[in-house]
């Protein structure tokens, strides 16, 4: 992905980027930019991400993939022009959405409130959180492709910046890149310790690195929702490095 982006940037006649920034999978691409094309990057801001997935992160993605592939409409990926594997993709989205939130954010948003309108079926949704997850799953199907979900989650799981080597050794190639690593305390999908691992490796590689951990109850979704605090901090950071 990053190699393709670099080709595009060069095609556009851009020799150097002030900064590459991104969260989650975008954060992984930021790290790859710094490691593979350090001469093109002045600063890197990876947010809520990891240098590689943990077994738990891989496990969550695998459950989502299995939900899609278990849908009889998936047909080994050959469903185009026919019925799409909507049920499997909806379940995958529901699983994913749970990991994007936090225990606190779900309690604040739903509590144990029951639905006002309930179907008279034994296993129909009783609680608001159940109805919300089904709503998110059903809406996701309208705008996303099941095979794309499979490939993207596989790309996430296979990403390993160090690729069997030591992370600090790989990051030494980015000796002239400045790093700002951002994490969120309630993010249990990409917990703060993974961001701290990146910071530690940067320091061991003797890179210029800053770390900012934001207190938020939104879980992994925080990198999309805590816009004002991120904007304030990133804006000041970019202003400082652009003036140097």
- Tell me the catalytic residues: 24, 187, 220
Q: How many CB atoms lie within 10 A of CB 43?
A: 22
Which CA distances in Å does 149 have to 23, 99, 101, 194, 223?
A: 18, 16, 19, 24, 21
Q: In what order do the strands lie in the sheet with 41-47?
A: 17-23, 41-47, 178-184, 208-214
Residue from 51, 20, 53, 49 nearest 34 by CA: 20
What's the helix, strand, coil split of the chain in %, to 5? 55, 15, 30
Give 88: exposed, middle or buried? Use CB within 10 Å, 0-12, 13-18, 19+: buried
User: Dihedral (C-alpha) 137, 191, 62, 136: value to the nearest 10 degrees?
Assistant: 0
Q: How many CB atoms lie within 10 A of CB 106?
A: 15
């Amino acid at each position: 992905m990053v190699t393709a982006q670099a080709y595009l940037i060069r095609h556009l006649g851009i020799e150097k980027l002030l900064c590459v920034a991104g969260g989650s999978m975008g954060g992984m691409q930021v790290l790859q930019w710094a490691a593979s094309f350090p001469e093109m990057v002045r600063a890197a801001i990876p947010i809520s991400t990891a240098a590689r997935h943990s077994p738990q992160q891989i496990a969550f993605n695998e459950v989502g993939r299995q939900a899609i592939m278990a849908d009889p409409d998936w047909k080994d990926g050959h469903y185009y022009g026919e019925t799409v594997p909507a049920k499997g993709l909806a379940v995958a989205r529901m699983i994913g959405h749970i990991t994007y939130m936090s225990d606190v954010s779900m309690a604040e948003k739903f509590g144990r409130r029951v639905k006002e309108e309930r179907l008279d079926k034994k296993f129909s949704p009783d609680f608001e959180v159940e109805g919300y997850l089904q709503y998110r799953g059903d809406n996701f199907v309208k705008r996303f492709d099941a095979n794309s979900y499979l490939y993207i989650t596989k790309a996430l799981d296979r990403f390993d910046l160090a690729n069997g080597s030591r992370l600090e050794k790989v990051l030494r190639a980015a000796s002239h890149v400045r790093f700002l690593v951002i994490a969120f305390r309630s993010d249990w999908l990409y917990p703060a310790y993974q961001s701290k691992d990146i910071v530690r490796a940067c320091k061991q590689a003797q890179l210029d690195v800053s770390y900012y951990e934001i207190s938020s109850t939104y879980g992994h979704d925080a990198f999309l929702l805590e816009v004002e605090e991120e904007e304030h901090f990133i804006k000041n950071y970019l202003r400082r490095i652009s003036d140097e």
